[in-house]
Amino acid sequence: MSTAAADAARIQPLVCTSGSAATVVFTLLDVPATTGCRFAYHGDFDGPGIALANRVIRRYEARPWRMSTADYERLAAHSQTEGIPQLALNDQPISAGWDPDLSPATTALDVALHEEATLDLLVDDLSRQT
């Protein structure tokens, strides 16, 4: 994500954790959070991704960024028509604290979607956010 944003000359502040957020990431985010900085969060649509999203959204009152049931269903359909490899979830569904319909949708479709499936949309969003 950070490379794609830089390549597209997006200058919005962005923190990329490259997977699971370790203690160092939360330590980093705690500093701007104490000054009133607001966060938007996007992660993978799979068990570990939803669990991490729950943690970040709860800890920082972050706004889910393209993490709704509608986003998931649209991206799953798009990835299928575009021939993007779809991975089976292979994990227990985790309830998304911000969207109670997301877990049933992921169970029904059984498709894990990683950030790459959303990359173009996220980079475009960065040009519009203030």
Domain boundaries, the chain: 2-126
pLDDT < 70 regions, the chain? 1-12, 19, 81-88, 91, 129-130
Note whether 110 and 72 are within 8 A (CB).
no
Helix (H) or strand (E) holding 38: none
- The pLDDT score that the predictor gives to residue 114 is 84
* Number of other residues whose CB lies within 10 A of the CB of residue 120: 11
Q: Which DSSP letter does residue 41 get?
A: E
62-90 burial: b if 16+ Cβ within 10 Å, else e: bebbbbbbebbbebbeebeeeeeeeeebe
Q: Hey, what are 9's tokens?
A: 């000359």
Q: How many Å apart are CA 40 and CA 62, to the nearest integer?
A: 5
* Number of other residues whose CB lies within 10 A of the CB of residue 60: 18
Burial class of 117 by CB neighbour count within 10 A (0 to 12, 13 to 18, 19+): buried
- The pLDDT score that the predictor gives to residue 95 is 93
- The pLDDT score that the predictor gives to residue 87 is 61
